[in-house]
Amino acid sequence: MNHRSRSTAASALALLLAATAGCGHSSPSAEGRHGERPPVIGVSLMNLSSEFIVMINKAMEQRAKELGAKLIVNDAQRSPERQIQQVESFIAQQVDVIILNPCEVEASTPAVDKALAAHIPIVNVNSETKTVPTAFVGSRDEQSGRLAMGYIAGRLGGKGEVVMMHGYMGQAAQLKRDAGAREVLAQNPGLHLFAEQTAEWDRAKAISLMENWIQAHGDRIAAVFAQNDEMAMGALLALEQAKKKDKIIVVGVDAIADALEAVRQSRLDATVFQDAEAQGRQAVETALAIVRKRPFEKETYIPFRLVTKENVGQYAK
């Protein structure tokens, strides 16, 4: 292995250890003011093998350290059942507050119910559950679909032939990004969505789908809206290989590193930035405000932002 991948491997291992060991030792700054016991926040995350969730986690740990709180981080690895068990064990450990990053809308709901029944406040971050938690911090996914399709409408002057790549059918993000995009389509009767298909958030599947679309309707497509950047990158690669990218607009959502780089190089037209860092920081701030009995917002929405060539410099790291 070369140095770069060895160091990322080492940091991944460290992160895993930190997550599984539950951050047993508190740093000096976490001792809390006035010598009192630092508040303990139990965190159950949807999936630490997702880049986006890893970013939320880093921001939370950073903010907790700054504000003198102790985090216990568990990874539910996409299993709502495991998530419920983790919340149960937080209740047993008598944590002061729980931050839940729900795996699923319905299936993770019992986790919220149990915490509320045990009179432990719970903050949902990034995704919703059916039961309303003590507070919610996240973004409205519809807005990302609106921004992306709105950009396409602007570039095409409200008129043109559009295709859409969906995420996993039925997932909250797919449904909401779809709904947001359709609002824009409804407002622009000249925009015509003539083909749509799932590529399951996956770059390889998106390449194949785009190749097939190029065969079926090559010269008809004016713009591609992919519901995440992985698929947008796949569409982009297929279009570049077919030498058709200069005629077709491609827009994604999430602002992953690859997509930002592609926007910077004028290959990808736009992506939509979901602020993982702000979500993570705000979740910890809200949780601590609740514990310290200070006023807090019941719902905080962190806005999405459109990223194009003009403003990509603010986002690319």
Figure out which of the listed residues 8, 29, 93, 311 binds other proteins, where binding follows CB under 8 A: 8
Cβ-Cβ contacts under 8 Å for 95 (sequence gap 6 or more): 40, 41, 42, 72, 120
Candidate residues 21, 132, 179, 257; the one interacting with other proteins per rule CB under 8 A: 257
Q: Does 169 bind other proteins (CB under 8 A)?
A: yes
Using an 8 Å Cβ cutoff, are 223 and 249 in contact?
Answer: yes
Using alpha carbons only, what angle is made at residue 199 by residues 197 and 128, rounded to the nearest 5 degrees? 95
- Candidate residues 56, 73, 191, 233; the one interacting with other proteins per rule CB under 8 A: 233
Contact mark string toward other proteins, 132..161, x via CB under 8 A? ------------------------------
- Which one among 90, 213, 273, 304 touches other proteins, defined by CB under 8 A? 213
Of 36-44, 59-67, 196-204, 272-280: span binding other proteins (CB under 8 A): 196-204
With contacts defined by CB under 8 A, name the span among 42-50, 88-96, 151-159, 309-317 that binds other proteins. Answer: 42-50
Question: Which phi and psi (to 5°) does residue 197 adopt?
Answer: -165, 155
CA-based nearest residue to 137, from 303, 315, 19? 303
Among 69, 237, 268, 272, binds other proteins (CB under 8 A): 237
For 272, phi then psi, to 5°, come to -120, 130
What is d(CA 139, CA 277) in angstroms, rounded to the nearest whole number? 12
Stretch of 108-116, 124-132, 146-154, 191-199 contacting other proteins, by CB under 8 A: 191-199
Dihedral over alpha carbons 283, 305, 143, 172 (to 10 degrees): -50
Alpha helices in 93-196 (DSSP H): 109-117, 141-156, 172-187
Q: Which one among 166, 176, 177, 245 touches other proteins, defined by CB under 8 A?
A: 166
Closest CA to 60 of 295, 276, 294, 298: 276
Q: Which is nearer to other proteins, 2 or 295 (CB)?
A: 2
Q: Which residues bind other proteins (CB under 8 A)?
A: 1-2, 4-5, 8-9, 11-13, 15-16, 48-51, 54, 166, 169, 195, 197-198, 202-204, 207-209, 211-213, 215-217, 233-234, 237, 241, 256-258, 261
